[in-house]
Amino acid sequence: MPSIEDILRSIHDAVVAYDEEGVKKAAELYIDEGHDALRGITDGLAAGMATVGDLFKAQEYYVPEVLLCAEAMQAGLDILTPHLRAEDSKSRGRVVLGTIQGDIHDIGKNIVKLMLEISGFTVYDLGTNVPYQAFVDELVRTEAELVGISAMMTTTMMGMKKVIQLVREARPEVGILIGGAPVSREIVKMFKADGFALAASDVVDEVKRVLALHTA
């Protein structure tokens, strides 16, 4: 009988290999063996995506591989999530997410959403081409603690300054993350956001860091 570590390793490796059937098989075995679903998600699936993020940063994986891995991970989530205990399903925080007005790119945003959800965050996804004010309205409606704004183009990225201003006025206690191809640390500083993640796999740590800043 394989050990729990062996099965978690199988889940991890299958995610990295974008082996959807392999993930399903390992996840089913994991549940059949009576193991804790949350650990399967964090130490199997999310750990696999973290490795995928490292491969992406090392330019060994590109967007298509990341998408395939995300699909494999989703297959595992579909099996493990129904077995989460009620206390494990409790949200670690609420995040409003969207691609900014004028921009319809969403691959990165969707991967970020997946990473946050598997890490226990509740995500309110506004989709793409989100009007500036809509970010604020959703923050007020959901009482979310953090907003993530995505842009793929330098032209649409400029709108982030306006959203940040509106958010600071309406809910100054909210953490603000920005992201997307044109975004850098210099842009974060210039726009006075709170943070950003170079790869989707880094977003969970960055969200935790920013939330800690705002609750300190």
Partner 1 sequence: MSKQLLIDALKGKRTSRAPWLPYAGINSAFLTNETAENYLKSPDLIAKGVENAAKRYRADGIPLIFDLSVEANAIGCELRWWADNVPSVVSHPCSRMESPGKLGLKVPTRESGRWPVVLEAGRLLKPGLDALDCAMVGLCCGPLTLASHMAGVRIFTDVYKNKDFAREVLEFAGEVNASSAQYYAEMGCEVIGLSIP
Phi-psi region of 123 (alpha: psi -120 to 50; beta: other; left: phi over 0): beta
Q: Note whether 181 binds partner 1 by CB under 8 A.
A: no
Token pair in block for residue 79? 């099996």
CB of 38 to partner 1, least distance (A): 28
Q: Note whether 198 binds partner 1 by CB under 8 A.
A: no
CB of 184 to partner 1, least distance (A): 21
CA angle 84, 86, 88 (to 5 degrees): 60
Asked if residue 183 lies in contact with residue 172, where contact means CB atoms within 8 angstroms, the answer is: no
Q: Note whether 84 binds partner 1 by CB under 8 A.
A: no
Q: Note whether 64 binds partner 1 by CB under 8 A.
A: yes
Selected from 47, 84, 107, 198, the binder of partner 1 by CB under 8 A is 107
Residues listed for the chain: 216
Selected from 10, 11, 18, 188, the binder of partner 1 by CB under 8 A is 18
Cβ neighbours, 10 Å, residue 117:
18
| CB nearer to partner 1: pick between 103 and 145 | 103
Q: Note whether 74 binds partner 1 by CB under 8 A.
A: no
Residues 139-178 that bind partner 1 (CB under 8 A): 153, 155-156
CB of 67 to partner 1, least distance (A): 5
What DSSP state is assigned to residue 17? T
Q: Note whether 102 binds partner 1 by CB under 8 A.
A: yes
3-state SS string for 126-159: CCCCECHHHHHHHHHHHCCCEEEEECCCHHHHCH
Selected from 67, 84, 170, 198, the binder of partner 1 by CB under 8 A is 67
Calculate the alpha carbon distances from 70 to 9, 29, 30, 63, 162 in Å. 17, 20, 19, 10, 32
Selected from 4, 68, 84, 134, the binder of partner 1 by CB under 8 A is 68
Q: Note whether 29 binds partner 1 by CB under 8 A.
A: no
Helix (H) or strand (E) holding 97: strand 94-99
Q: Note whether 60 binds partner 1 by CB under 8 A.
A: no
| CB nearer to partner 1: pick between 150 and 156 | 156
**Amino acid, res. 131:** P
Positions that interact with partner 1 (CB under 8 A): 18, 63-64, 67-68, 71, 102, 104, 107, 129, 153, 155-156
